[in-house]
Amino acid sequence: MNSRLGTLSLLSLSLILAACGGNTAPSDPSTFNLSTLAPGQKKEINSKLKINVVLVGYRPTAPGQVAGPKDVNVSDFGDIMPATGRNIARIPSAYGTLEPTGNTFDYDYNFVYANKSFEDGFFSYLTSKDVGTEKPLTYYQKAYNCQNTPKDGSAPACAAPASNIAQPITGNLEIDGVLAENWLADHANDTGVDSSQYTIFLVNWYGRSDFKFHSFTRTDAADSDTKSPFGAKASRRTNAWGGTPRAGGKTQRVWFYDLSANPEAWTTSWDISNADVDGDGVPDYRMPPIWEYGTRKATYRPFTKVGPDLARVARYVAVDLLFTPSPIYRAELTPPDMPENINLNVAFKQGAGAPAPTTVFNGALSQERLKVLQPFATFSNSLREAPLTGPIFDAYKCLFPQPNPDPKLPPVLCSPDRADATGDRLFNIGLNELRDQYKDKAAYQVPIFAFNDNQNTQPGLLGVAIDDGVTGTQALVYSFLTPELNKDFGYGFTDTITHEVGHHFSLSHPHDGYDSESNTEYGPSGPFTFVNAGDMSNTVMSYNDLTRGFGQFNLDSQYRYLTSAYLNNANAVLELVQQAGKDKVQAVTAAAKNADGQFAGAITSYQNMEYLSAAKQAHTAYRAVIDAARSAGVNVQAYKWYERLDGLSLGQKAQPRRADNFLPVQGTAVRPETTAFLTRLRLSK
């Protein structure tokens, strides 16, 4: 993909590229003398994060002894865990230059072995009334026992358990994942750990006399529109959970991962027979249940790999994807003038006979959930409706490859790489509609196109949040609903649109991301297949339909991004002031100095993990700077990506544009969002 960053203004480049040099000399009346703000520079906020790793049901190898199956040593983590982290805007960075967000971390790990009293209390709690309930074996527990999933869709059945499994699953204690998470958070202090710090509980119940085969559930999870009970599906049983916000002002930052839970469908840990489960020709690295490590009957993986595997999960899931993830897009939306008013502009493209928009989309509910990601903006939502016919229907049908009438030939590429000989027609239609909307609307418009199809024209496709194809700036949001999705699978629009606008506001999935120390983009395939475990957390950004809103990890990350964005956009505004002349500098100096102190306070709050407070202080300081600049007559303009796409209109060729399936910086490419949604729909049982 060719980079087009050179088309941006120097001001925009100042937001993208890290600048060199220190603060300007105080003797120059045409510049500011500030301690925290630095006009024209891209600053990074560094914080030292303590990360607790609590081992429950594991023990270190005793001195002079040979390591056993339950032995996990701190040394297992030493060469795997990252020492530092640096966030980047992932899609903009895929256009040729790494774009840091301004958030860096030094990790301080605290390894703790839970004592017997803690373990006894926790495992006893899991079997208590209203927490754990004995249920029949699920589809995927039977699939593990038989090592197959029948092609006709029937339940797995076998005369005897598969010969290559260590032991068959004989029970199914279903445990509420949130209750387990909350117990761990509430009792973390018993291990000397503060659960308001990022904390990973690595759990093993296996080997105790009170062990029960078990899995974790979110049985109350249902689609917001159809009420389809996704949480009841066997494919939504988990072996991990965390990130649930607590009411009453208590903050917990806990995620647990239980290798002794029943193998589950989401990471395909039930399948220990096939090396390449997704059929892409690359072996898929997964974590089997702990009893599959180094047994006499089966040797799926040596028991000496338990510790290193837990370390991989801790690094590539907990640290990189949940605790300190990189955003997919820039949080500032319209630098350097970040929006104060945001409208969810929903354009329903309505197929004849499709469900009425109000029955499959609740705009007020989606708005309520999304506003926490831009907490200082005033939100609104609007809905307009037009038939899904004519040119837009033709463009919609051509969005992705179509089956060839001749099965021996490849699919018909109506829009190769989402841009055909006349450009990506669907994108161009949306672009022109957006330009028209901005003629009489001042608020920032999130352009959402809801394709409410009365046919299965795009089977299995739920949604995508795409960029401008030029700079990696977030652009249009598409959501799709067909009879298959609505009637067969139970989806409406509300949750998908909330998910996709979550991308538009910056958030990545909890199953794909970036590791800064290795400079690697990765998603849930090949050597990173196990990172689908990140979906086992409280966030609508996952693919498992178990959460409707945004969790603690989402909020922490977004408020960090915003704090840095406000700081660096204030720096960009002050650079404009300096360029406007010394009289403008003098007019803005008082406001700049006051904001400088406020930003210093914001950084202190940030480093104390008071992220919402930090973002609030940074927003107040940023507004003071930009308001003072405007009052002084300095022209500060918002970046409008849709005005920068010169020559892009109907009938003219566009640059290829990608959504979640962008080019990797290094390493494994992220799976296209649409493909991953198709994977989700296959896990429908």
Q: Taking residues 243-272, what's their average pLDDT?
A: 94
User: Looking at residue 415, what is its pLDDT?
Assistant: 52
> What count of other Cβ atoms lies within 10 Å of the Cβ of residue 593?
14
The whole-angstrom separation of Cα 533 and Cα 312 is 11
pLDDT tens for each residue of 91-122: 999 988 999 999 999 999 999 999 999 999 99
Give the residue from 521, 508, 178 showing the smallest Cα distance to 316: 521
All residues at 6 or more sequence positions from 496 whose CB lies less than 8 Å from its CB, including other chains: 462, 463, 479, 480, 481
Q: Is the pTM of this model over 0.95?
A: no
Average pLDDT for residues 406-420, to the nearest whole number? Answer: 61
Least confident of 233-242, 340-349, 452-461, 551-560: 452-461
Q: Please indicate whether residue 584 or residue 424 has the higher confidence score (pLDDT).
A: 584
**Closest to 51 (Cα-Cα) out of 519, 535, 602, 556:** 556
The pLDDT confidence band at residue 400, using thresholds 50, 70 and 90, is: low
Strand partners, 291: none
Quick check: 8 pLDDT over 70?
no
Cβ proximity of 548 and 498 under 8 Å: yes
Q: Closest by alpha carbon to 296, among 71, 69, 144, 73?
A: 69
Kindly state the percentage of the chain with pLDDT values over 70: 87
Q: Find out whether 111 and 310 touch, Cβ atoms under 8 Å.
A: no
Q: How confident is the model at residue 306 (pLDDT cuts 50, 70, 90)?
A: very high
- Least confident residue range of 147-161, 165-179, 183-197: 147-161
Rounding to the nearest 10 degrees, give the CA dihedral for residues 168, 174, 177, 182. -110
Percent of the chain with pLDDT over 90: 74
Strand pairing class (341-350; 378-387): parallel
Q: Give the pLDDT band of residue 529 (cuts 50, 70, 90).
A: very high
Question: How much is the pLDDT for 270?
Answer: 95
| 130-149 pLDDT tens trace | 999 999 999 999 999 999 99
Question: Can you give the residue ranges of every domain in the chain?
Answer: 5-42+554-639, 110-323, 341-505+651-682
Q: What is the DSSP letter of 115?
A: P
User: What pLDDT score was predicted for residue 660?
Assistant: 38
Q: What pLDDT does 20 receive?
A: 36
| Per-residue confidence (pLDDT) for residue 24, from 0 to 100 | 43
What is the CB neighbour count within 10 angstroms for residue 388? Answer: 22
Section 538-550 average pLDDT: 96
**CA angle at 583 for the pair 578 and 584, rounded to the nearest 5°:** 50
Q: Residue 670 — very low, low, confident or very high, per pLDDT cuts 50/70/90?
A: very low
The mean per-residue pLDDT over the stretch 60-80 comes to: 88
Measured in degrees and rounded to the nearest 5, phi and psi for residue 399 equal -60, -40
User: Which runs of E-coded beta strand occur in 288-362?
Assistant: 341-350
Whether pLDDT at 286 is above 80: yes
- In angstroms, the CA 535 to CA 574 distance is 41
State the burial class of residue 59 (Cβ atoms within 10 Å of its Cβ: 0-12, 13-18, 19+). middle
- What six digits make up the tokens of 556? 């922490």
pLDDT tens digits for range 320-345: 999 999 999 999 999 999 999 999 99
Confidence band for 355, pLDDT divided at 50, 70 and 90 = very high
Which residues, at least 6 apart from 233, have a Cβ–Cβ distance to it below 8 Å?
Answer: 683, 684, 685
Closest CA to 502 of 328, 289, 319, 303: 328
Rounded Cα distance between 150 and 124, Å, is: 37
